[in-house]
Amino acid sequence: MKHKIIKIFALSVLLIFTPLRSSFADNEKILTEKQVREIVIDVIKNNPKIIYDVLFKYIQQQREKQQLAEAFKHRISGIPIYPYNPAVGPKDAPITIIEFTDFQCPFCKKASDTMEKLMEIYPGKIRLIFRNRPLSSIHKEAFSAAKAAMAAHKQGM
């Protein structure tokens, strides 16, 4: 009984919407580019404030992008780079990356491997500056490893 009611309902829906579907297809228009342009111009003529609203929103988005870029630029430039920091890559490279590392940290090792790959992929475009940040509270020998690395760097290794 239940299946019979469902079948009748489905058939009724199909019969009701079939003529509507074909009438939609008959009334469907394909607009040319010229017609679309004329419609847009007409809408703008009748609603000139639209142009102002769209331009205002666009300018606002551009300002936000500019402010974000400036904020990012100042934030990065706020990190001091000392002449004694070990570095690889040309001094005039367009990209400078400061890698903070702990020699006993497995995540730092993964990041270091990624930096090495970037240096290979973009030769001459990246300057990589190393900063030791030993996590002595977690890694017992981290500070000693950082001191040894700095001593090796000072000796030209």
Residue where one domain finishes, among candidates 78, 102, 133: 78
**What CATH number is given to the structural domain containing 97?**
3.40.30.10
User: Could you tell me if 65 and 114 lie in one domain?
Assistant: no
Range of the domain at 93: 87-154
The reply to whether 13 falls in a domain is no
**Is residue 104 in a domain?**
yes
List per-residue pLDDT tens for the chain, 157 residues long. 545 555 554 444 445 555 544 444 445 678 888 888 888 888 888 888 888 888 889 999 999 988 887 776 666 666 777 788 889 999 888 888 999 888 888 898 899 999 999 999 999 999 999 888 888 788 888 888 888 888 888 887 6
Half-sphere exposure in the Cβ direction for 103 (13 Å, CA): 13
DSSP class per residue in 93-118: -SEEEEEEE-TT-HHHHHHHHHHHHH
Q: Are residues 149 and 93 in the same domain?
A: yes
126-132 and 95-101 beta bridge pairing: parallel
Q: How many domains does the chain have?
A: 2
